[in-house]
Structure 1
């Protein structure tokens, strides 16, 4: 089996996309059929630095595809045998105004665009800085 790919960053801050319509962070709409953004938000908002990017991306995939808990290990191995989009493509950072900080252990937390914490992380020279992917090409 090929070496698993990862979406995890360490000591990195993913800044809100340049073309995001959000002027301040928004909670993704909580619909009956939860969106990827809502699922990611629900996992991260009250659990900062508890999960890695891989944990969140796989959990959302598993929930969306009704993967049984007993099958998680093999399903996760297969899921990450192919490259997956990282949190730079998360709607939280692209659309809803949330920055994503990865600590030294790859655990992540989200910070609202308008917060003092976001501004502090955005200026932190000890971190790698990347922007969330743009929604539009150009």
Structure 2
């Protein structure tokens, strides 16, 4: 079984051209339900460069499916046996104004589009710079 990945190395994902955010915004929680964006935000913001994109995306899947500890290993294999959308399609980069930097080990951190660090990463010639996907076609 082929295993797919969403991980990038030495890459910066800019916010989408049609993002309504002019600065990094904290994604809202809807009632008692955490959104995909709020789970991603909490995990990456509190743990910069600790997790890969694959780690974060699978964690969101596992949390939303309410998987038990015993189900995680098999579920992760099944999850990545199919291609998954990467952080270029994340609501953090498309809607909430966060750029995503992947270091040399593929670990990620987020930076608000209004920050000096965001601008540095966006213009860093040593990084592959990608745009997040637009919401509209």
TM over 0.5: yes
Pairing of 1:67-86 with structure 2 (within 5 A): 67-86=67-86
CA distance in 2, matches of 1:41, 1:69: 22
Counterpart CA distance in 2 for 1:28 and 1:68 is 26
Classify the secondary structure of the residue corresponding to 1:99. Answer: strand
- TM-score (ref. length: structure 1): 0.97
> How far did residue 71 of structure 1 move?
1.3
User: 1:1-138 alignment to 2 at 5 Å?
Assistant: 2-31=1-30, 32-137=32-137
TM-score (norm 2): 0.98
Query: How far 1:69 sits from its partner (Å)?
Result: 1.4
Runs of 4 or more consecutive aligned structure 1 residues displaced over 4 Å after TM superposition: none
SS at match of 1:45: helix
Separation in 2, partners of 1:116, 1:51: 23
Deviations 1:96-136 (A, max 9, x none): 00000000000000000000100100000000010000000
- 1:30 Cα shift? 2.3
Separation in structure 2 between the aligned mates of residue 35 and residue 72 of structure 1, nearest angstrom = 20
Alpha-carbon distance in structure 2 between the residues aligned to 1:101 and 1:131: 12
**Secondary structure of 2:119's aligned partner:** helix
SS in 2 for 1:10: coil
Supply the RMSD in Å over aligned alpha carbons: 0.6
After TM superposition, give the deviation of residue 44 of structure 1 in Å: 0.5
Counterparts of 1:77 and 1:125, CA distance in 2: 35
